[in-house]
């Protein structure tokens, strides 16, 4: 093996890696040997010289190394091919015949830090979030083509976190045929049109799939309020679950147009529905308390740890308004996708909202990521979607 650049950690700073965490922060490094170029593969050692693993460097980032393996080995095309096959093994049986849209690679959760790949039928969407994965972009395009034979691979690395890696935002066709606008997908009996070029995330909220299925199973006869509805994923499932009536709120006129398209596409013309363009916080204050099921799936309120106090107030107000609008023996699906909002704090916030609303509430279930969004158990930062199903008495 060639001589690789390396970092040697300060005494005692190896403990997180020994416990399985895949990140090394710059403050833990005592010294470096060799040139640490962004995206370059190198090694990490403890202060006493013990080999700890190999990964990808970025000296310009607070996370100076993202671990790929804990053994000395050649990190070539064969290595990364095996990681992709390992990820594929998890998905292939679960999604065959159920959906043609799912996450193929989930970064650290699939032991490929900084790489996200989503599948929308025969179109693959790739995000390279780190300097290491940016450097290997061409390799992964070749591997995805050889393993999956997609018609197209489109890049959606147009997210602000790239700047923290010293990378510009990027988007565009990487391989194959031009992408149709939009891309039609199927999800257990539902049809959607995903905007992979310009839509939220990589075109659709794949991480809410299992929660949409649950909404469909309990919607029959219920009057539903879908807040922050985006293109109506939850509501289409509620409609197919024979909801009595559906009200949808979103601030985007374009998203609400897509809602109408999805209702037509799924032949839900017999389900009465109402679209309201506006801020959900404002709209909910003027609605009457007549709903049997409310879905709260807002954008992240706390993108940084310092945002938590304000985010907590926002989540409490939102859940307070929802609880006010729910009838007796009704259900609330409430979510947060703020990385820094842990389970304990989120539950305390919703509990406080229930107290202020004067409602007795049962916690029926906690909900989170679906199977195609695995989280490395030693990397809790990879968990971001938290939700609760509540019954209001």
Catalytic (active-site) positions: 337
Compute the distance between CA of residue 216 and CA of residue 195 in angstroms, rounded to an integer.
23
Name the token pair of 199: 């839509």
Instruction: State the chain's maximal CA–CA distance in angstroms.
Output: 71
Name the token pair of 300: 């992240």
Say if strands 29-33 and 63-69 run parallel, antiparallel, or are unpaired. unpaired
The three-class DSSP label of residue 339 is coil
For residues 124 and 87, is the Cβ–Cβ distance under 8 A? no
Nearest CA-CA partner of 373 in 209, 230, 150, 152: 209
The three-class DSSP label of residue 152 is strand
Compute the distance between CA of residue 194 and CA of residue 180 in angstroms, rounded to an integer.
10
Q: What is the 3-state secondary structure (H, E, C) of 58-99?
A: CCCCCEEEEEEECCCCCCCHHHHHHHHHHHHHHHHHHHCCCE
Backbone region of residue 139 per phi and psi (left: phi > 0; alpha: psi in -120 to 50; beta: other values): alpha
DSSP H or E run through 313: helix 308-325
Nearest CA-CA partner of 293 in 242, 219, 227: 219
């Amino acid at each position: 093996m060639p001589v690789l650049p390396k970092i040697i950690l300060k005494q005692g700073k190896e403990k997180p890696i020994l416990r399985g965490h895949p990140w090394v922060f710059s403050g833990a490094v005592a010294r470096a040997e060799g040139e640490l170029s962004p995206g370059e593969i190198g090694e990490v050692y403890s202060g006493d010289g013990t080999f700890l693993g190999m990964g990808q460097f970025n000296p310009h980032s607070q996370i100076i190394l993202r671990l790929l393996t804990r053994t000395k080995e050649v990190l070539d095309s064969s290595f990364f091919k095996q990681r992709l096959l390992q990820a594929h093994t998890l998905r292939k049986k679960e999604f065959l015949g159920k959906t043609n849209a799912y996450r193929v690679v989930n970064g650290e959760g699939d032991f490929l830090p900084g790489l996200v790949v989503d599948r929308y039928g025969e179109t693959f969407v790739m995000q390279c979030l780190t300097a290491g994965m940016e450097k290997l972009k061409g390799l992964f395009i070749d591997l995805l083509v050889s393993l999956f034979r997609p018609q197209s691979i489109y890049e959606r690395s147009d997210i602000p976190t790239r700047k923290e890696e010293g990378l510009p935002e990027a988007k565009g066709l990487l391989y194959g045929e031009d992408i149709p606008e939009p891309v039609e997908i199927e999800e257990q009996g539902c049809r959607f049109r995903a905007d992979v070029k310009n839509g939220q995330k990589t075109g659709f909220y794949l991480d809410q799939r299992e929660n949409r299925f649950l909404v469909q199973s309990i919607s029959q006869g219920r009057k539903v309020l879908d807040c922050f509805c985006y293109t109506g994923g939850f509501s289409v499932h509620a409609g197919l679950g024979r909801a009595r009536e559906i009200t949808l709120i979103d601030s985007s006129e374009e998203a609400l147009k897509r809602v109408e398209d999805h209702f037509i596409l799924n032949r839900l013309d017999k389900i009465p529905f109402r679209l309201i363009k506006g801020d959900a916080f404002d709209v909910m204050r003027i609605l009457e308390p007549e709903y049997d099921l409310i879905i709260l799936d807002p954008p992240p309120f706390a993108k940084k740890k310092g945002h938590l106090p304000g985010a907590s107030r926002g989540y409490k107000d939102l859940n307070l308004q929802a609880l006010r609008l729910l009838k007796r023996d009704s259900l609330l699906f409430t979510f947060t996708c703020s990385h820094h909002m842990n389970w304990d704090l989120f539950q305390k916030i919703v509990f406080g909202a229930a107290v202020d609303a004067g409602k007795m509430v049962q916690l029926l279930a906690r909900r989170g990521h679906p199977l195609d969004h695995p989280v490395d158990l030693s990397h809790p930062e990879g968990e971001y979607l938290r939700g609760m199903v509540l019954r209001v008495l």
